A and B are shown apart, each in its own frame.
Chain A
Amino acid sequence: MQALVIAAHGSHLNAASSTPAFAHADTIREVGAFDEVRECFWKEEPSFREVLRTLESEEVFVVPLFVSEGYFTEQVIPRELRLSGFDPEKWDSDGTSADHVTLTASDVEKTVHYCGPIGTHDAMTDVVVQRAESVTGDPTVGDGFGLAVVGHGTERNENSAKAVHYHADRIADRGRFDEVRALFMDESPEVDDVTDHFDSDDVVVVPLFIADGYHTEEDIPEDVGLTDDYRTGYDVPTTVDDTRIWYSGAVGTEDLLADVVLERASDAGASVQAEIEQVRERTRTVALATGD
């Protein structure tokens, strides 16, 4: 038997923090890609510490629902899962290239394929683009539009900025949007001055965050100038300094993210190619049906 474990941050304060983990797990359950699919959390239950013992499968693919490599993927998750002999060196990563490593967990007799975070997978680039399509309701959005990929910044690790640049660069290379920028909450270039960084009349702003919460629902909308008080909400788009800002909310809530989770597991050896196709098809249909 094979299991998929989605490892997410969760929250003691915000009930919506677990929503993306549940939603993507459910998409993967629906296509029957694994015998077991389980969500686990740093702040909720099952905890990273105890999730493996709840599974029957002897082979487990663990995919971190995190945006970048760093503290959680390199220290917290492997330590809490008790992955014997884990060392970030085994990933041999440049900050965005962690792939997978196969280990055993010391409290259960299971083989664990520990994958890199979803945020740095190439397929995540497509999710950012699809997020832009969803929020504009336009499957061909790009022409005449700027796109800002927004990250937290360097607060705790430099890789968080690397992941944002990585996807921004990849999207820019495709030439689909007139302008693409990587912006940050607590380092420059800052998202506060988003309109200064674009000439386009329309700019899609996609935060590279997993769950909606304080940063994506309160901080960024106020910083960008969509609203003075997040509690009163804002329109999509909202005009700020003559630029229409299409603010998408956390990229992690995009249905297509389930595809990235499967891609990670697939790269680590799970045979889920057919299911990846199904998930892509389903989540694309969802996006088009719900996009205005």
Chain B
Amino acid sequence: MDDDVLDSLWLAADHGVSFDGLHVDRTDETVHFETPADDATVTGRAAFEEVATEHAAYVSNWFFWHERAPTRDDHWAFCRWLEGASETPVSDRHAALDGGVTRSWGQLELTVSSTGFGERRYALRHEADADEPLAPLTRYDDPLAARQLVKHDGDGRYRPLKTATNLPTGWVFDDLLPEAMLETVEYVYPATIANWYRERKGDLDVTHWRETAARQTGIYGLVSDLDDEAVGWLAEACCVDSQCCKRREWDLDDECDLDVPRSEGAFPCREPCSLVVAAARTVTKLEREATETYELELTPSEKAQLETLVDAVAEDRLDEIREADFDDGANRYRVRYLRTKLFDDGLPDGHS
């Protein structure tokens, strides 16, 4: 054990150390040392060093959390959560950290490992790459690189919403110190740690739909006109597990919940995001139109095909449809056939 560590513990013990099952109290040269499995009272620095070495797991744990871990409340809590500090006793945690302890955060997989006495290193990658060997993944060590990395999805499409479920794969930050890990998470999923921590403390400041809509000005001012049912449809379109990693905590207002399932995400969504507000602007304008009746004849298979097509777009499935899979109603040739047959002259006019 390093002299640095022993010096820190010796000094700290003067005021009493009580952390994660380790208790150390020193009065002059007499040190009382206690862990859940053991306790001893020794005299003199040499005897103190011996007993500290016997309880290296506890001392290492104390040293990390007092000398190496981030001090900011939310960051500290996040790092504790990552390694399950509140539910896993040091003896078990110490062994687990040797092999790495893993948690998901949105689509991220975060792994914390102990890499030496009182040291931790963190790895981040896409959860879909969790079982990949590191070799084919592109390695990064500068948190700032994450900003560009998450700008586009795997197909090169721009991602306007950071927590959308299209985080690209194929990269890893495999050896980060705590601060760099926190910074990287911040770039991948901005403000999620801060809001998660507020929620844990019981003071997440949720801003519901009506308040958010009322606050809008300029071209977004009109979103207050969107009726409640349509707000529900919008949340169902955008704020579900398949689309966004955040767990929607906002509703219509404090009293009126939206009748839409909430996702299971680890971190909360505390107010409608700018993407949802922009989508609301479009649908508010569209919802102003009155309905009309259109008469159009379809075979049952054609009706089913239209449903398949809508579904394929909504589920972002078009890329998966094989070129010659004519059984799939959203197959390009099938849709072109339908367009030629039904829509070449435009759809019939409606009447109200």
Interchain residue pairs with CB less than 8 A apart (10) = A12-B160, A14-B158, A43-B160, A44-B274, A45-B161, A45-B190, A53-B198, A71-B218, A76-B217, A107-B205
Stretch at the interface among B144-152, B315-323, B330-338: B144-152
Which residues, 178 to 203 on B, are CB-close (under 8 Å) to A? 186, 190-191, 193-195, 198
Q: Closest CB-CB distance, B142 to chain A, in whole Å?
A: 10
- Report B146 CB to chain A, min CB distance, Å: 11
At the interface, yes or no: A46 with Cβ under 8 Å from chain B? yes
B162 touches A45 (CB 8 A): yes
- Interface residue? A56 (CB, 8 A): yes
* Extra inter-chain contacts (18) besides given A22-B147, A49-B271, A50-B195, CB under 8 Å: A12-B160, A12-B275, A13-B158, A13-B160, A15-B151, A18-B151, A43-B274, A44-B160, A45-B161, A45-B162, A45-B163, A45-B191, A45-B273, A50-B191, A53-B191, A53-B198, A56-B72, A75-B217
B158 lies within 8 A of A15 (CB)? yes
With CB as the reference atom, state the residue of chain A lying closest to B218: A71
Query: Out of B158, B160, B194, B278, which one reaches A50, CB within 8 Å?
Result: B194
List residues of A whose CB falls within 8 A of some B CB. 11-15, 18, 22, 26, 29, 42-47, 49-51, 53-54, 56, 71, 75-76, 79, 107
Partner of B215, one of A44, A51, A71, A79: A79
Are the C-beta atoms of B152 and A15 separated by less than 8 Å? Answer: yes
Q: How far is the CB of B14 from chain A (nearest CB, A)?
A: 29
Bound-state CA distance A75–B215 (Å) is: 11
Interface size on B, residues (CB 8 A): 27
Scan residues 271-302 of chain B and give those whose CB is less than 8 A from a CB of chain A.
271, 273-275, 278
With A and B bound together, what is the CA distance between A51 and B151 in angstroms? Answer: 18
Q: Assess whether B191 is in contact with A11, with CB atoms less than 8 Å apart.
A: no
Could you say which residues of chain B place their CB within 8 Å of the CB of A71? 217-218
A167 CA to B190 CA, complexed, in Å: 36
What separation, in Å, do the CA atoms of A45 and B160 have in the docked complex? 9
Complex Cα spacing A71 to B216, Å: 12
Q: Which residues of A contact B205 (CB under 8 A)?
A: 107
- Please give, as numbers and ranges, the residues of chain A lying within 8 Å of B144 by CB-CB distance: 26, 29
Instruction: Name B residues whose Cβ lies closer than 8 Å to a Cβ of A.
Output: 72, 144, 147, 151-152, 158, 160-163, 186, 190-191, 193-195, 198, 205, 215, 217-218, 270-271, 273-275, 278
- Distance (Å) between the CB of B87 and the closest chain A CB? 27
8 closest A-B pairs by CB: A46-B190, A50-B191, A12-B160, A45-B190, A15-B158, A53-B194, A45-B162, A46-B191
Complex CA distance for A53 and B195, rounded to whole angstroms: 8
Given the interface contacts A15-B152, A75-B217, does A54 sit within 8 Å of B194 by beta carbon? yes
A51–B162 alpha-carbon span in the complex (Å) = 14
A29 to B191, CA, bound (A): 20
Smallest CB gap from A29: residue in B:
B144
Contact between B191 and A54, CB atoms less than 8 A apart: yes
Distance in Å: Cβ of A143 to nearest Cβ of chain B = 40
Bound-complex Cα distance A43 to B278 (A): 9
**Cβ contacts under 8 Å, A51 to chain B:** 190-191
CA distance A11 to B147 in the complex (A): 15
Question: Is B162 a contact partner of A44 (Cβ separation < 8 A)?
Answer: yes
Minimum CB–CB distance for B101 against chain A, Å? 25
Minimal beta-carbon separation of A161 from chain B (angstroms)? 19
Residues of A within 8 A of B195 (CB): 50, 53
Bound-complex Cα distance A29 to B144 (A): 11
Interface contact A11-B160, CB-CB below 8 Å: yes
* Residue in chain A with minimal CB distance to B186: A54
Give the distance to chain B from A209, nearest Cβ to Cβ, in Å. Answer: 19
**How many Å lie between the Cα of A45 and that of B189 in the bound state?**
8
Write the chain B residue with the least CB distance to A55: B194
Contacts A22-B147, A53-B191, A53-B195 given; does A47 touch B215 at CB 8 Å: no
- A98 CB to closest chain B CB, in angstroms? 19
Interface centre among B160, B218, B278 (most CB of A within 10 A): B160
Question: Bound complex: CA of A75 vs CA of B219, how far in Å?
Answer: 13
Q: Which residue of B lies closest to A79 (CB)?
A: B215
Give B72's nearest chain A residue, CB to CB: A56
Give the nearest-CB partner of B275 in chain A.
Answer: A12
Q: How distant is B158 from chain A, measured CB to nearest CB, in Å?
A: 4
Please give me the residue from chain A that is nearest to B191 by CB atom: A50
In angstroms, Cα B274 to Cα A43, docked, is 6
Most chain A CB within 10 A, of B72, B162, B190, is at: B190
